[in-house]
């Protein structure tokens, strides 16, 4: 499948994710969707990531700000939403399950596995 097809399927899953977040009582606001490679390089240099490549650079990742009672939720508090995300496709990965740097607000489609 071409990148455009993956981007379309990813965004359709994001729409389902946002609806599910509302059903679970979260308030979702948008974080980062697209990131230029130059910004990824800066994050790498500053130690904010260990990855040279990010799925954000291909529009296959999104960071959502998730709140309950006007308080930003922790990764543990949004774990049910992370499980939902991963259930939508075997290509979907939730940052709260990453083994190096936990990234709870991060939802991505990994097409490189």
pLDDT by residue (tens digit) across 16-71? 999 999 999 999 999 999 999 999 999 999 988 888 889 999 999 999 999 999 99
User: For the residues of 32-78, what is the DSSP string, one character each?
Assistant: -----HHHHHHHHHTTS-S-S--GGGGT-EEEEEEEETTEEPPTGGG
- Alpha-carbon distance 5 to 65, whole Å? 26
| Average pLDDT score over residue span 76-101 | 95
pLDDT band at residue 13 using 50, 70 and 90 as cut-offs: very high
Is 111 in contact with 100 (CB distance < 8 Å)?
A: no
| Rounded percentage of the chain residues whose pLDDT exceeds 90 | 88
Fold classification of 3-109 is Muramoyl-pentapeptide Carboxypeptidase; domain 2 (3.30.1380)
Q: What is the pLDDT of residue 113?
A: 67
pTM of the model: 0.92
């Amino acid at each position: 499948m071409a990148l455009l097809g993956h981007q379309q399927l990813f965004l359709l899953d994001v729409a389902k994710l946002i609806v599910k977040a509302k059903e679970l009582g979260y308030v979702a606001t948008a974080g980062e969707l697209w990131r230029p490679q130059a910004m990824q390089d800066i994050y790498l240099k500053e130690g904010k990531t260990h990855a040279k490549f990010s799925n954000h650079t291909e529009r296959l990742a999104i960071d959502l700000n998730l709140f309950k009672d006007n308080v930003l939720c922790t990764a543990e508090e949004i774990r049910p939403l992370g499980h939902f995300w991963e259930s939508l496709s075997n290509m979907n990965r939730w940052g709260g399950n990453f083994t190096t740097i936990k990234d709870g607000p991060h939802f991505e489609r990994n097409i490189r596995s």
